[in-house]
Amino acid sequence: MPKSTIPFHVSSGQYAVRATYIQIGNEWYPEYIGEFAPCDQNKILQPVCRIRKVSYDAKGNAVSTLFANDCAKFNKIWANRASYTY
């Protein structure tokens, strides 16, 4: 699986979710996870989502999950996810 953005839905149906993936060894893991209101899921250039970044150790174990700019509000821009502080 190439590093990409793949939309998928949370099982609760409360949020639409986008994720990017990184490869560690032969496995792929979610790196950035963005949650959107379902009606906003395609507004990747507008401040309508909250973003988390997952960090892993060398074995692929998640070691932290942090919100962009230490804020869980739906006011981040998905396209800018790498520019936030985690």
Query: pLDDT tens, 8-27?
Result: 444 446 888 999 999 999 99
CA 27 – CA 11 distance, rounded (Å): 23
Nearest to 84 by CA among 11, 29, 16, 34: 34
Total number of domains constituting the chain: 1
So what's the pLDDT on residue 2? 43
Amino acid at 47: P
- Taking only the tens of pLDDT, the chain with its 86 residues reads 444 444 444 444 688 899 999 999 999 999 999 999 989 989 999 999 999 999 999 999 999 999 999 999 999 999 999 999 99
Domain limits for position 29: 5-83
